[in-house]
Chains A and B, each alone.
Chain A
């Protein structure tokens, strides 16, 4: 006999299982059947970009518009690349290190700038993206405009002599390996996001999103909370960026620019700010849509932006709001 909480959770668990099967079995199967191997790269990018977008979504969750995720993705990519090429560290160690470093930078920068709100915060994070790009151009360790190239593929990861992840250079199909790695990263990231949102921390975030003064007056330590959330958000950004650098095997100052920062934000908006899985759907639609429209040539941007504007006009609260409205309509 299932308890009430379990029956409540059942659709969620089922949905999660279906999602896992689709991502890890169905997609590779369909790709091998149709032979569109280039889709692997697209879908891997979608998975990684959605990880970074998830971070942006989390800052939205405390009521801040974050247009600076490109900065943290770039920081992550550089930290991982420098660790792998210059210090000879294994990629699997550099990946969390990149995330942690991005998180630490976020704490240092976040302490002053998280005092800003609304468009002020949005604009200063936008400026932050430019700052990081220009810093990467100016610093000697990042190798300026030439960037860091020919980064080796991720090596073997073994624990107590047991190989957990084989060396990517020896795998006959590294594209598939990257796809699986990116998807695992995405699943773990969104699962932890779901956990955060449905925890005490998530409730505190919601109270902040509604009214910061009120939350603070009932004893929520908002100064601490917003820095923590910003650090988590940037951690995701750093992870996504580091993995992206490993796939491209190169990092340039122009790897993540203002356009990318804006894209991360748009992914969240398009998916819907009220839904944890919004950024994933938003990234899929925006990135995949752009790729599919490639065949239109010079009309690509026109059709893309036109569709985007239409979507906003029809669903101003994000793609996922469509389901929400219909269910509520049925209840009435």
Chain B
């Protein structure tokens, strides 16, 4: 049982980071970012290239992932989402654009990095073993720790800086924020870049453990959607909670339900649908947010 909880926390810490980026973008732009999974994969490939191939230090490679994705996110917001949101009659048209960008990023990944599964050498060797009740490799502990550290850093950034305050204001009420003198266009761009950066960061962190391949993007996006729904769309605390809950459910499900075959995800999906029928806005969300 202890092992299951540890696995759950480990999964949850990564999931929470993915969900954070998605929910941030949703809160600011009201855009369902289908390309989030692809951004995560690009982050993984950038770290792979710099750390695995060029032999740079891991931290530096991680930084490169963040910078690449932040620039990419900013460009996507500035030249694609911004103009389309301003010009389309119905807000939902951005979903077509988001899906188009997901296809485009998939194509770019295919051409630049190829379709093979890629992995990097372990950053720390050894396995933590507590009396055979909890067995977990040291690198997983390190990644989990880094992920929680990044989440804490992100929350403090949102709470205590001027940019964070502006972003929270836009998420709360876009028009009111603009009336109070917040440069909405500029901060939308910064927010999108920040969300993309989080996806890149978690991609870079995870490449050391699970590796990275082209097909990971889509399933990651679906998982991220689920976490956001559990917690409530557009709410930071909800995304973190949703991430940890899904991580826990997955760990427990794999441990308990594995004897009945591969039905963990079916059970999670059905539970989620029942849950949302009772509480449509998720745990922390505001109604019709």
Contact = CB atoms under 8 A, between A and B. Distances in A.
A138 B263 CA distance: 7
Contacts of B228: 123
Interface in B253-280: 261-263, 265-266, 269-270, 272-273, 276-277, 280
B32 to A, nearest CB: 5
A327 interface: no
Contacts, number: 128
B222 interface: yes
A75 B78 CA distance: 41
B62 interface: no
Interface residues of B, number: 47
A306 B226 CA distance: 28
B88 A316 contact: yes
A301 B103 contact: yes
Given A119-B26, A123-B225, A313 B233 contact: no
B226 A308 contact: no
A110 B58 CA distance: 49
A54 interface: no
Contacts of A302: 104, 107-108, 111
Contact of A258 (B87, B88, B97, B218): B218
Contact of B265 (A118, A130, A270, A274): A130
B100 interface: yes
Given A120-B276, A120-B280, A122-B95, A131 B104 contact: no
Nearest to A308: B100
A316 B225 CA distance: 24
B273 A128 contact: yes
Most chain B Cβ neighbours within 10 Å, of A60, A118, A138, A269: A269
Contact of A312 (B96, B273, B277): B96
Contact of B266 (A122, A134, A258, A270): A134
Nearest to B115: A298
Contacts of B1: none
A308 B95 CA distance: 12
A317 B88 CA distance: 6
Interface string A107-133: 001001101111110111011101100
A312 B100 contact: yes
B277 A115 contact: yes
Interface stretch (A3-11, A40-48, A259-267): A259-267
Contacts of A301: 103, 106-107, 110
Interface string A287-321: 00000000000110110111011001100110000
Most chain B Cβ neighbours within 10 Å, of A115, A123, A258: A123
B97 A124 contact: no
Contacts of B233: 119-120, 123
Interface in B218-239: 218, 222, 225-226, 228-229, 233
B116 interface: no
A190 to B, nearest CB: 21
Contacts of A308: 96, 100, 103
Interface in A130-154: 130-131, 134-135, 137-138
Nearest to B34: A262
B92 A259 contact: no
Given A120-B233, A123-B225, A127-B269, A259 B218 contact: yes
A138 B266 contact: yes
Interface string B67-97: 0000000000000100110011110110111
A195 B161 CA distance: 56
Contact of B84 (A134, A298, A316): A316
Contact of B262 (A119, A130, A137): A137
A123 B242 CA distance: 14
Given A301-B106, A308-B103, A317-B88, A130 B96 contact: no
A84 interface: no
B130 interface: no
A318 to B, nearest CB: 8
A273 interface: yes
Given A120-B281, A127-B269, A131-B269, 8 more contacts: A126-B222, A131-B270, A134-B269, A262-B34, A273-B93, A305-B106, A309-B101, A316-B84
3 nearest A-B residue pairs (beta carbon)? A112-B277, A305-B103, A316-B88
29 contacts: A112-B273, A112-B277, A113-B273, A115-B280, A119-B233, A120-B280, A123-B32, A123-B225, A124-B229, A124-B276, A127-B222, A130-B265, A262-B34, A265-B95, A269-B95, A269-B96, A270-B96, A273-B92, A274-B89, A301-B110, A304-B103, A304-B107, A305-B101, A309-B104, A312-B93, A313-B83, A313-B84, A316-B84, A317-B88
Interface of A: 60, 65, 109, 112-113, 115-120, 122-124, 126-128, 130-131, 134-135, 137-138, 258-259, 262, 265-266, 269-270, 273-274, 298-299, 301-302, 304-306, 308-309, 312-313, 316-317
